[in-house]
Amino acid sequence: MRGKVRLQLALALGLALGARERILAQDWPQWLGPSRDCKVAGFEAPQTWPEELTRVWRVNVGQGEATPALAGDRLYVFAREGDEEILRCLDAAEGNELWAHRQAARAVTGPASPYPGPRSSPAVSEGKVVCLGVGGAVTCLDAATGRKVWDAAGPAEVPRFFTAMSPLVVDGRCIVHWGGENQGAVTALSLATGAPLWSWPGEGPAYASPALLTADGIRQAVVHTEKRLIGLDLAEGKLLWEVATHQERGYWNSATPVVDGGVVFYTGQGTGTRALRIARRGDGFAAEEIWHNPSLGTCYNTPVLKDGLLFGVSDRGYLFCLDARTGATRWKAPARVSPFAAVVDAGAVLFALPAKPVLAIYKPDGASCVELAKYTVADAETYAFPIVAGRRVFVRDRGAVTLWTFP
């Protein structure tokens, strides 16, 4: 009898752990998803695409363009109301607010003033959630309760369009790029205490977020600054390699680098797309250009790498596909959407969400652009990535978050 009870308990525990693992596999805990590569697991494409999606809930959360973070059954949304920035924790299933943390927000002036809300995505790690405000202030909260663990103000200088990079949280470190035009520093803060661990005092930040690279056993933060693409030793902040990027006035580095093993793909407005091989050379590292496609590159979105192909939305607003090995153009979609667009690899399909909030589903085909379905998913512009989790799709527009589901 006792053996039977133990077996039942073991089966129940196994089922519970399996369910939890599936939930974790569907998390979007930081910028660009679990691995910062625009990829999600767990979506099962329907045999027949429905005419419309089911709206489960919609919650007004305040102004902002920051992509939320999804961790288990909690959705973390960073927004602005008046003179305050607010990090809200919502019940992902129902949309109910579980807690909210408010803090004073810096006034957004100049050309960025029509968009005063946060641009940086929260990052959830080790029971904490970290957010970076438009004025460069970093706040770390207890992810369960919203209690403040620590904060760090950063310098007074900010970029022309204010702080937009999203922190890289890894190995107990929170990596941010502080500063303004022509001056700044990439800084690693302790996730536990907020104390600075190292700082690289190079140039000012761009609007791109760091990526993580491992080359010859050395973990590196790949950072797109306002003038260069650099690799920093994650442990000590030492500059390992660098390449100059396009410097035409009015162009900004906004796309997160894409990492595949020791290869880094980077792109920007008016620069096309390039591939670099990062390899050990003597006592240091070198970045060797593999190819350059000058015709197609992104502006305000990050490409996604899938099955040897790079998919993105060009700086002129066209969905495109490049051969990741050679850089050759495979195709460019005939219809123009918006350079403000997000592309997500959901396994069998790609999700693309431009600023005009029509979510399009594509077949990840290297031969041609194949659209499978499209759905209107918001009433206002969308600059955040859609979060695809199983059959759920969370959409953040400029004032609200909506949960949609596939039947």
Along the chain (407 residues), what's the average pLDDT of each consecutive run of 10 residues? 43 37 70 95 94 98 97 97 98 98 94 93 98 97 98 91 95 96 94 98 92 96 94 96 78 89 92 95 93 93 96 94 98 91 96 95 95 96 96 97 96
Beta-bridged to residue 353, according to DSSP, are: 342
pLDDT of residue 282: 87
Helical segments of 54-118, H only: none
- Output the CA angle 136-160-341, nearest 5 degrees: 90
In the structure encoding, which two tokens stand for residue 170, read together? 């890894």
Backbone phi, psi, residue 56, to 5°: -90, -50
Of all helices (H) and strands (E), which one includes residue 258? strand 258-260
pLDDT of residue 23: 41
Cβ(204)–Cβ(183) under 8 Å? yes
Burial (Cβ within 10 Å: 0-12, 13-18, ≥19) of residue 36: buried
- Output the CA angle 347-349-352, nearest 5 degrees: 115
pLDDT of residue 330: 98
Length of the chain: 407
pLDDT of residue 319: 95
Amino acid at 107: A
167 vs 397: CA distance, rounded Å: 21
Question: Is residue 23 helix, strand or coil?
Answer: helix
Of all helices (H) and strands (E), which one includes residue 348? none
pLDDT of residue 388: 97
CA-nearest of 179, 358, 212, 205 to 278 is: 212
In the structure encoding, which two tokens stand for residue 399, read together? 């004032």
In the structure encoding, which two tokens stand for residue 129, read together? 């959630």
pLDDT of residue 181: 86
pLDDT of residue 22: 40
pLDDT of residue 288: 97
User: 243-269: buried (b, 16+ CB within 10 Å) or exposed (e) per residue?
Assistant: bebbeeeeebbbbbbbbeeebbbbbbb
**Structural domains in the chain?**
33-405 (2.130.10.10)
In the structure encoding, which two tokens stand for residue 48, read together? 């027949």
Q: For the whole model, what pTM was predicted? A: 0.92
352 vs 5: CA distance, rounded Å: 49
78 vs 87: CA distance, rounded Å: 4
pLDDT of residue 253: 82
Burial (Cβ within 10 Å: 0-12, 13-18, ≥19) of residue 57: middle
